Amino acid sequence: MIPQPTTQQALADTTFTLSPDATIGHDDATQTIADRLAAQLRRSTGYDLPVQLGAGTITLSSTGADTLGAEGYELRVDADAVTITAAAAEGVFRGVSTLRQLLPAKAEAGSTQDGPWEIAGTTITDAPRYEYRGVMLDVTRHFFTVDQVKKFIELVSQYKLNRLHLHLSDDQGWRIQVDSWPRLTEYGGSKQVGGGAGGHYTKADFAEIVRYAAAHYLVVVPEIDTPGHTNAALASYAELTADGTAPELYTETEVGFSTLTVGKDRTYEFLDDVFREVAEQTPGALVHLGGDEAHSTPHSDYLTFVPKAAELVVKQGKTVMGWHEIGDAPLPAGTVVQYWGTEDEKAQALAQKAVAGGARLVLSPANRAYLDMKYHAETPLGLDWAGLVSVEQSYSWNPATLIPDVPADAVIGVEAPLWTETLDELAKVEFMVFPRLPGIAELGWSDESALDWPAYRERLAAQAPRWEVLGINFYRAPEIDWA
């Protein structure tokens, strides 16, 4: 199972068998979760599986004692019943993720399969190590449609992640509608890397992504990258540039050449509008303002800019998130700083400085957690600037000790970013995400004591039949003895 639960005990001589007359019981808060579980199991088993209020053969209960937090749960598999008990619907959803992994892989199939549908008797008590367990999808370098993002959500949500970071603006494209600045998407979103047609999310599209993510217990963290990575915005509105001349749209993959104009009032009027409209569409607490690789912004300007931009996010009632470079600037209380360094001391110093100022850290070390890095020198997709990232390399690190001299409780979690310079279709995304993402998910969820490469390697191998049934184009890394 991935992530490894906190505790799991086998019940001797006990086997549960899902039978044709089974029912799924739920309470008020867990009806949707029950409906989704039933829908999947009906497809694969062909059984009726009526969903009912109250107890069932499988019972979901979200009114348990709050000893495991909102995401924790207890799961019990007896000979004649399965119960998932949590203190909130979210915990029940995490428990259902576990139940799906306990069932035979063919339970994930889209058409009727032969049983038996057996689960070995067990009791599981489980809760996450970290509160933030994320994955990022870059929809700027290549655009992904709402349907593609929904598929991505289905695939990643199996592993108990709870944040979906969407990188929505960059040099190559602006992907989210802003009513007060319509050319951002009309013009700035029209292309992508390679020069082909881009795309963008209308407000209705974005609302649908947020809704679908929420149904999978993923909170969307929208990112508007500033002050660098802004060519698409500058190309759309000449008034945002220093000399009033709009640059061309950009469809290549260099970084660090664009910047908002730090000394212009119009820049902050623009960001005020953008953050207001984006925040309005964001139920989650966090709005990400980027801040990475602002190589064309003089550093003194950068230090002026970051607090002003951060203030505009706070004004919307949101908490600021940004890449670790923002750690050099004064930041609002509670800011979440996303570390993407490798083992370099300059990046670590910025993270340490941010923590000293009260920030919290999400860890995305590029040489470990970047899903766009090649697995090995011959991987046909991806980049290699942070090194080659094998499955073992991506799994074998400890978030608590990655950055020296920061208190363990300053780290609130981990995130695996996927940049898409080389990825223009979902099959390619899947190839980079699987099998590395489940390992980052486990680093975020499981106790430190569970992290052990030789054992993980075997648990990972056992996921392959599920990915085959789901039709995931995963990389059969030779370091794993695939089942």
Active site amino acids: 293
Q: What secondary structure does DSSP assign to 229-280, as a single string?
A: S-HHHHHH-GGGSSSS-PPPP--S---S-----TT-HHHHHHHHHHHHHHHH
- CB nearer ligand TNX, residue 235 or residue 464: 235
Say which residues have a Cβ less than 8 Å from residue 482's Cβ, sequence separation at least 6: 461, 464, 476
Q: Could you give the residue ranges of the DSSP H alpha helices within 104-202?
A: 146-156, 183-186
Contacting ligand TNX within 140-199 (CB under 6 A): none
What the block records as the tokens of 321 is 């998130």
CB of 281 to ligand TNX, least distance (A): 23
CB of 285 to ligand TNX, least distance (A): 21
CB of 117 to ligand TNX, least distance (A): 42
CB of 383 to ligand TNX, least distance (A): 5
Residue 227 near residue 171, CB atoms below 8 Å:
no
CB of 129 to ligand TNX, least distance (A): 24
- Strand-pair category, 286-290 with 219-226: parallel
Q: What is the CA radius of gyration of the chain?
A: 23
Cis peptide leading into residue 104 (ω within 30°): no
- CB nearer ligand TNX, residue 223 or residue 442: 223
Provide the total of helices (H) and of strands (E) in the chain, helices listed first: 15, 17
With 0-12 CB in 10 A as exposed, 13-18 as middle and 19+ as buried, what is 173? buried
CB of 272 to ligand TNX, least distance (A): 24
Residues 189, 224, 273, CA angle at the centre, nearest 5°? 90
- CB nearer ligand TNX, residue 92 or residue 366: 366
Rounded to an integer, what distance in angstroms lies between the CA atom of residue 442 and that of residue 164?
A: 16
Q: Does residue 328 belong to the site contacting ligand TNX (CB under 6 A)?
A: no
CB-CB neighbours of 302 under 10 Å? 20
User: Using CB under 6 A, which of 339, 340, 434, 445 touches ligand TNX?
Assistant: 340
Whole-Å CA distances, 416 to 214, 368, 441? 19, 9, 8
- CB nearer ligand TNX, residue 201 or residue 340: 340
Q: How many residues bind ligand TNX (CB under 6 A)?
A: 10
Contacting ligand TNX within 367-396 (CB under 6 A): 370, 372, 383
- Strand-pair category, 219-226 with 118-126: unpaired
CB of 77 to ligand TNX, least distance (A): 42
Residue 193 sits at φ, ψ, to 5 deg, of: -55, 135
Q: Does residue 223 belong to the site contacting ligand TNX (CB under 6 A)?
A: no
User: Using CB under 6 A, which of 292, 424, 430, 442 touches ligand TNX?
Assistant: 292
- CB nearer ligand TNX, residue 146 or residue 255: 255
Contacting ligand TNX within 408-427 (CB under 6 A): 419, 421
Q: Could you give the residue ranges of the DSSP H alpha helices within 434-463?
A: 437-445, 453-461
CB of 362 to ligand TNX, least distance (A): 12
Contacting ligand TNX within 91-130 (CB under 6 A): none
- CB nearer ligand TNX, residue 83 or residue 169: 169
User: Using CB under 6 A, which of 205, 293, 311, 468 touches ligand TNX?
Assistant: 293
- CB nearer ligand TNX, residue 4 or residue 172: 172
Residue type, 236: S
Rounded to an integer, what distance in angstroms lies between the CA atom of residue 444 and that of residue 15?
A: 31
- CB nearer ligand TNX, residue 193 or residue 240: 193
Contacting ligand TNX within 229-258 (CB under 6 A): 255
- CB nearer ligand TNX, residue 309 or residue 464: 309
Q: Does residue 323 belong to the site contacting ligand TNX (CB under 6 A)?
A: yes
What's the DSSP call for residue 176? B
Q: How far apart, in Å, do the first and last CA atoms of the chain sit?
A: 14
Residue type, 454: P
CB of 175 to ligand TNX, least distance (A): 14
Residue 114 near residue 96, CB atoms below 8 Å:
no
CB-CB neighbours of 326 under 10 Å? 30
Residue type, 279: A
Contact residues for ligand TNX, defined by CB under 6 A: 255, 292-293, 323, 340, 370, 372, 383, 419, 421
